[in-house]
Chain A
Amino acid sequence: MKKLINDPADYVDEMLDGLCLAHPGLRRVGDDRRAIVHSVAMWPGKVGVVSGGGSGHLPLFTGYVGPGLLDACAIGNVFEGPTINSCQDAIAAADRGAGVLCLFGNYGGDRMNFEMASEFAALEGVETRTVLGTDDIASARPAEGHKRRGVAGLIFAYKAAGAMAEAGGDLDAVASIAQKVVDRTRTIGVALSSCQIPGAAGPNFTIADDEIEFGMGIHGEPGIWRHKIRPADELVDEMIAMLLAERPAGVSRVAVLVNSLGSTPFEELFILYRRAAQQLDAAGLTIVRPLIGPYVTSMEMGGASISLCFLDDEIEGLLAAPADCPFWKVG
């Protein structure tokens, strides 16, 4: 698999250098410079919102650092959690005396490292809360929702938590809204082709040219089924049906994200969105603030995911609040 890179060992650091050069509002901090912060001054007493994860998913995670979203982000090697030190650096950078929310996907390495970093932060008097993204419905049954992985729907929690923090919410309020959004967000993806970790001998997984895997995770974790590829409308119908099976009672408005996993183009995303909008309308749901594009990727992986965030007035208001990062501007 061909890539436009130099030494694979420099992949992450060179990428971060370029990101910060292109977006001067971002800068690298910490001993190994693997925490990203934004340059807009955080007022004293504001709750910090921090995330983190492995590289290879831009715009996730570092791309969502900005006012109204994340205050800092720890970043690891490709598909490898950030180090404990990087998590500590991100927490320290986001601390303004009111505590820090650590909001990240439910993956073992990320969870352990943020836990240890939070323990170190507590020793220094910094209070933290943790909320885990668990929106991937293919990764565990509803009864085991706490075991689900975090994927593209995590950005809705970033947005709501960031807005609540900007509005002056305390740490409990910021953590509470993040958890509420996680609880009301569901994602399902389909994969068409693999990606390859820079320097690896081969692709992360193999899939035939005429096959599709339904429910595959963003690191190539196995999905629900693998068959010959089907028309887009059939796939969307199955995806929407699975997502709506977990629709909370009384919900009439929904935020939608149709996300490219990397190489799937906008044209195909709009074909997917067209059908998703039809199906959601038929289900009596009004779409609010649709997002279509590459928001959470796996480098060059082919495929797409659909995320639904089932809204209430509080979440809808927070999603509409101003925010500004390199890949998502609101207001």
Chain B
Amino acid sequence: MAIDVHTLADAIERANRAMGGLTDQLNAADAKLGDGDTGTMLARLIGSFAAVDLQNAPDLGAGFMALAKTGAASTGSSLGTLIVTAMMTAGKASAGQDAIEWNGLSQILLAVRDAAMARGKAELGAKTIIDGLDALARAIAGKDDPAAIAAAAREAMDQALLEFRERPSAIGRARMFAEKSVGLDDPGMLALAEIVRAVTTNHSATALA
């Protein structure tokens, strides 16, 4: 079994369900140094993704592109735009393919990481969602078993949060509060970790693990 539009639709559905319980948590994490709207924005964005008819997308690349198009109309926030960039990048990488093999997921995540760095003009180590993507991509490299990928992904995100929590933020609004950011999770990285957890836990027949 490979990753196809049904896998993608299932992951979106899981993430959307999880946002019901994550919205307040992510808003609270963002409110410590920011506007406090990360959870609300993500709930709106992922909700718009869930309304996309992925099951009838002609191929996986078209499915990702449909998500990108929907996202582009849904949010103007920095994090939201990075997610749209991720969908476009994955769409280009899987254009015209019905499915990609599990062992190809790491390469797509690395491409997403690089695209997000270019779009956000961010470096690795700045304590952003990009560091989470980097940890995720490296952790699952060379793996082709969905259950093993799921376990490695969860472990990588836990480690990334632990590693970066005590570092100062170096980009965006949080950089202006660099000292205060020590000891706090980056809201974008935390959101990625929680969504990875939601997508990879309690697996069904078509999901990630």
A interface residue numbers (CB < 8 A to B):
31-32, 54, 76-77, 79-86, 108-110, 112-113, 115-116, 139, 197, 200-201, 204, 219, 221-222
Q: List 19 A-B contacts (CB under 8 A).
A: A76-B76, A80-B41, A80-B77, A83-B74, A84-B72, A84-B81, A85-B73, A86-B76, A108-B78, A112-B78, A116-B72, A116-B81, A116-B85, A139-B176, A197-B37, A200-B35, A219-B35, A219-B173, A222-B176
- In the complex, are the beta carbons of B77 and A109 less than 8 A apart? yes
In the complex, A260→B73 CA distance in Å?
Answer: 32
Chain A residues, CB < 8 A from B172:
108
In the complex, A77→B73 CA distance in Å?
Answer: 12
Contact A109 to B81, CB < 8 A, known contacts A31-B73, A76-B76, A82-B76: yes
- In the complex, are the beta carbons of B119 and A112 less than 8 A apart? yes
Chain A residues, CB < 8 A from B85:
112, 116
Chain B 82-107 interface residues, beta-carbon cutoff 8 Å to A: 82, 84-85
In the complex, A115→B81 CA distance in Å?
Answer: 11
- B125 CB to closest chain A CB (Å) equals 17
Query: How many residues of B sit at the interface, in one of the four size bands?
Result: 20 to 34
- In the complex, are the beta carbons of B78 and A83 less than 8 A apart? no
Chain B residues, CB < 8 A from A197:
35, 37
Total A-B Cβ pairs within 8 A: 67
- In the complex, are the beta carbons of A109 and B76 less than 8 A apart? yes
- In the complex, are the beta carbons of A221 and B41 less than 8 A apart? no
In the complex, A86→B76 CA distance in Å?
Answer: 9
- In the complex, are the beta carbons of A115 and B119 less than 8 A apart? yes
- In the complex, are the beta carbons of A85 and B77 less than 8 A apart? no
Binary CB contact string for chain B from 30 to 49 against chain A (1 if under 8 A, 0 otherwise): 00000111000100000000
Residue among B41, B82, B85, B176 with the most chain A CB within 10 A? B176
- In the complex, are the beta carbons of A77 and B78 less than 8 A apart? no
Known pairs A109-B81, A112-B82, A112-B85; list 5 more (Cβ under 8 Å): A80-B41, A112-B78, A139-B176, A197-B35, A222-B177
Binary CB contact string for chain B from 124 to 167 against chain A (1 if under 8 A, 0 otherwise): 00000000000000000000000000000000000000000000
In the complex, A77→B82 CA distance in Å?
Answer: 17
B75 at the interface (CB under 8 A from A): yes
Contact A113 to B76, CB < 8 A, known contacts A80-B37, A197-B35: yes
Binary CB contact string for chain B from 60 to 77 against chain A (1 if under 8 A, 0 otherwise): 000000000000111111
- In the complex, are the beta carbons of B120 and A108 less than 8 A apart? yes
- In the complex, are the beta carbons of A81 and B35 less than 8 A apart? no
In the complex, A84→B78 CA distance in Å?
Answer: 11
Q: Which residue of B lies closest to A217 (CB)?
A: B176
- Report whether over half of chain B's contact residues are helix, strand or loop; otherwise say mixed: helix
In the complex, A222→B84 CA distance in Å?
Answer: 29
- A142 CB to closest chain B CB (Å) equals 17
In the complex, A225→B81 CA distance in Å?
Answer: 33
In the complex, A197→B41 CA distance in Å?
Answer: 14
In the complex, A197→B84 CA distance in Å?
Answer: 25
- In the complex, are the beta carbons of B173 and A113 less than 8 A apart? no
B interface residue numbers (CB < 8 A to A):
35-37, 41, 72-78, 80-82, 84-85, 119-120, 172-173, 176-177
- In the complex, are the beta carbons of A85 and B176 less than 8 A apart? no
In the complex, A32→B82 CA distance in Å?
Answer: 21
Chain B residues, CB < 8 A from A113:
76, 81
- B115 CB to closest chain A CB (Å) equals 11
In the complex, A197→B177 CA distance in Å?
Answer: 20
Q: Which residue of B lies closest to A53 (CB)?
A: B76
Instruction: Choose from B72, B73, B78 the contact partner of A109 (Cβ within 8 Å).
Output: B78
Chain B residues, CB < 8 A from A79:
35
Contact A81 to B84, CB < 8 A, known contacts A31-B73, A197-B37: no
Contact A221 to B173, CB < 8 A, known contacts A112-B119, A204-B35: yes
In the complex, A239→B63 CA distance in Å?
Answer: 53
Contact A200 to B36, CB < 8 A, known contacts A112-B119, A112-B120, A221-B173: yes
Contact A83 to B76, CB < 8 A, known contacts A112-B119, A200-B36: yes
Contact A83 to B176, CB < 8 A, known contacts A116-B81, A197-B37, A204-B35: no
Chain A residues, CB < 8 A from B73:
31-32, 83-85
- In the complex, are the beta carbons of A80 and B177 less than 8 A apart? no
- In the complex, are the beta carbons of A81 and B176 less than 8 A apart? no
- In the complex, are the beta carbons of B35 and A112 less than 8 A apart? no
- In the complex, are the beta carbons of B176 and A54 less than 8 A apart? no
Instruction: Choose from B35, B36, B37, B72 the contact partner of A85 (Cβ within 8 Å).
Output: B72
Chain A residues, CB < 8 A from B81:
81, 84, 109, 112-113, 116
Sort A-B residue pairs by CB-CB distance and give the 7 closest, nearest first. A81-B76, A84-B72, A76-B76, A109-B78, A108-B78, A112-B81, A85-B73
Instruction: Choose from B41, B84, B176 the contact partner of A116 (Cβ within 8 Å).
Output: B84
Q: Which residue of B lies closest to A112 (CB)?
A: B81
In the complex, A222→B181 CA distance in Å?
Answer: 13
In the complex, A266→B74 CA distance in Å?
Answer: 38
